[in-house]
Amino acid sequence: MLKKFLVVLLMAVACVRPGWAELKVDIVAGAVEPISVALQRVETVGNVPVDVATMIRDVVDADLKRTGLFRIVSRDALPEFVEMGKMPDFQLWDAVRAQVLVQAKLTAQPGGQYGLEFYVWDVAGREQIEAQSLVASKKSARRMAHIMADAIYERLTGEIGYFDTQIVFIAETGPVTDRVKRMAIMDQDGYGFRYLSDADTFVMSPHFSPNMQTIVFLSFRDDDPMVWTLDLDTGEQRRLGQFGGMNFAPRFSPDGTKIALSLVKNGITHIYEYDIETKKLRQLTFGHSLNTSPSYSPDGKKMAFNSDRSGNQQIYVLDLETGEVERITFGAGRYATPAWSPDGQYIAFTKIADDTFYIGIMDPRGKHEKILAGGWYMEAPSWAPGSRRVVYYETERALDGLERISHIRSVDVTGQHIYEIELPDDINGVEPTWSPRLP
């Protein structure tokens, strides 16, 4: 299905001069002055509905604003409209304190397609710093807007954008005592929600393959908890294999050739690695403790996981080449659900201490722990491409013991900018996983 949303990049031009470096955002700092961005209305050429052009502007506006790194200049304050191809009067944009000006044009093209061109200007430097032209089917206009926002974000931060992505999660409906759990998918901003599984089968723990073609998940089909895969192109579901025990917590390797999972045998839970091509299973952890929640390092050489081998739940790192295991968490409380960042610099985790749940990050040695969010119940951190943001879910405490609401939230590595991803009415979201950039 994802292959159908083809977006062709026709042209990309970028000029970076010494003056531009002063505008770049330091995205690691806890408090930064946001860059002021002016988004003009989108020009239209041919038979282009006004609401489509407005939608593109609104999507780019919302994507950038949610990061906390940009201030979008009020549309009422914008100077006179500047057509693409004409040089802006930079003094007018200086007057509204715009540091960046964005122009865009949407053109109707033959074959049911749109062409989107956009320019990004450094107002202080009086120069164009980005120019791109995209072509896509009309039904993919919204995706073009996310790609446009990614290009602006990447030019201004120097980091990988994450707007042209999706989130797979478990959508819960019904009363707490009889919850229906269905696998669902949506864009990173909550748009395009749709179910991937039916209401008759209890499912958990969905994760994307690196190429976005497959989702691996835990299914209780026929009351038999087993790991399954879902092909996003065909919708076909397949059981991973018969392993002689309950298996859960699946996760793809960075190259997509293996799947790590937890397998219960003789009452003991260990982590195994399943080779997709050879269909062979290799045991990775040993002993009499519970070992689960595997997460590969980006280079595929190590794996973070949580285990109670020290007496309570802590995070360990396994060297997949030597088999050596090192404990990396020693703080107060219990640690679980490690998630290695795509750039390898952080491991996100869930921490439970003093009857409170926390989402945090630390370096791969367990040092420099930083708490990003805390609440009554929250877990399942997952990274956006570029390692800038983490998505997780938070459940509100039920005062009456009956109604329990779960939200999907996103927080950046500074812990400063948290927002909730809006879900359809009466749907609770849990166990979110952020996708790689869409192909």
22 has pLDDT over 70:
no
CA-to-CA distance for 231 and 237, rounded, in angstroms? 7
- Indicate the SS3 state at residue 250: strand
- Which contacts of 194-197 are long-range, i.e. CB under 8 A and separated by 24 or more positions? 195/171, 196/168, 196/230, 197/230
Rg (CA), the chain: 23
Q: Give dist(CA 107, CA 49) in Å, integer.
A: 10
Contact 263, 285 (CB under 8 A): no
Domain ranges (residues) in the chain: 2-157, 166-434
In this prediction, residue 70 carries a pLDDT of 97
Q: Is the pLDDT of residue 231 over 60?
A: yes
- Joined tokens for residue 288: 């009499």
Comparing CA positions, the residue from 145, 63, 64, 135 lying closest to residue 100 is 64
Residue with tokens 């991973």: 240
The pLDDT-based confidence of 281 (bands split at 50, 70, 90) is very high
Task: Evaluate if residue 127 carries a pLDDT over 90.
Answer: yes
**Mean pLDDT rounded to a whole number for the chain:** 91
Angstrom distance (rounded) from CA 65 to CA 52: 20
When pLDDT is cut at 50, 70 and 90, the band that residue 13 belongs to is very low
In contact, 42 and 57? CB cutoff 8 Å? yes
Displacement of CA 321 from its chain's centroid (Å): 29
3 pLDDT above the threshold of 50: no
Q: Is the pLDDT of residue 21 over 70?
A: no
CATH superfamily name and code, 166-434? TolB, C-terminal domain (2.120.10.30)
**What does the pLDDT read at residue 397?**
82
Provide the 8-state DSSP code for 291.
E
pLDDT of residue 51: 96
At 188, which amino acid appears? Q
**Quick check: do 2-157 and 166-434 share a fold?**
no
Cβ-proximal residues to 310 (8 Å cutoff; 6+ apart), any chain:
327
Q: Can you give the pLDDT at residue 224?
A: 86
E strands, 297-437, are 302-307, 314-319, 325-327, 334-340, 347-353, 356-362, 370-375, 377-383, 389-395, 406-412, 418-421, 428-434
Q: What is the pLDDT of residue 18?
A: 34
Span 289-335, pLDDT tens digits: 999 999 999 999 999 999 999 999 999 999 999 999 999 999 899 99
Tell me the pLDDT tens digit for each residue of 348-404: 999 999 999 999 999 999 999 999 999 999 999 999 999 999 999 999 987 766 678
| Res 259: pLDDT | 98
Q: Which helix or strand (DSSP H or E) is residue 109 part of?
A: strand 100-109
| pLDDT (0 to 100) of residue 16 | 36
Mean pLDDT value across residues 236-263: 93
- Phi/psi for 54 (5° steps) reads -65, -40
Contacts by residues 43-50 (CB-CB < 8 Å, ≥ 24 positions apart)? 43/83, 43/84, 43/103, 43/104, 43/105, 43/106, 44/105, 44/106, 44/107, 45/105, 45/106, 45/107, 45/108, 46/107, 46/108, 46/109, 47/108, 48/106, 48/107, 48/108, 48/114
The pTM for the full model equals 0.92
What does the alpha-carbon distance between residue 146 and residue 131 come to, in Å, rounded to a whole number?
15
Is pLDDT larger for residue 258 or for residue 416?
258
Which pLDDT band, with edges at 50, 70 and 90, does 5 fall under? very low
2: pLDDT strictly greater than 50: no
Does pLDDT of 32 surpass 80? no
Q: What CATH number was assigned to the domain covering residues 2-157?
A: 3.40.50.10070
Question: Using 50, 70 and 90 to split pLDDT, how confident is the model at 19?
Answer: very low
Residue closest to 207 by CA, chosen among 188, 224, 230, 237: 230
Residues in CB range of 87: below 8 A, 6 or more apart = none
pLDDT of residue 172: 95
Q: What is the pLDDT of residue 335?
A: 98
